[in-house]
Amino acid sequence: MWESLPIFKVIDNSISTNQLDNLIFTEVDEFKRTLLEVKMFFNDSEYEDFNKIRTNIFEINGFVKDQYFNSAKEETAIAVSNNYHGLIKKIFKENNLLINKILNTNRKNFN
């Protein structure tokens, strides 16, 4: 979802807030529901990595929100786009590591 977000439309506000909310919050709300379901199966210390993943997702969401409502527009659209894509790349990498850690831990616990 984050990779296909029309970031240039966000930067120049050519997408309405309703359209942006529909693009983002449908997925984010589903993610939050999934996390609540997952929480039933893990204790607090085991669930910590899921919280880190959630925090990372909300960091991307915060970046998008900040860009949409940034009236000063101090950076060029290209710079903002590059920062956005760098951020999602960094977070996807970190989340992949966290997911692998969760999977490895669970494999050990269930074997």
8-34 residue pLDDT tens:
898 888 999 899 888 888 888 898 999
Structural domains of the chain, count? 1
**CA atoms lying within 13 Å on the CB side of residue 11:** 16
Whether 2 is covered by a domain: the verdict is no
User: Could you tell me the pTM of the whole model?
Assistant: 0.82
48 domain-assigned: yes
15 lies in some domain: yes
pLDDT in tens, 53-90: 999 999 999 999 999 888 777 888 999 999 999 999 99
Q: Is residue 37 part of a domain?
A: yes
Q: Which domain holds residue 93?
A: 7-110
Does residue 70 lie in a domain region?
A: yes
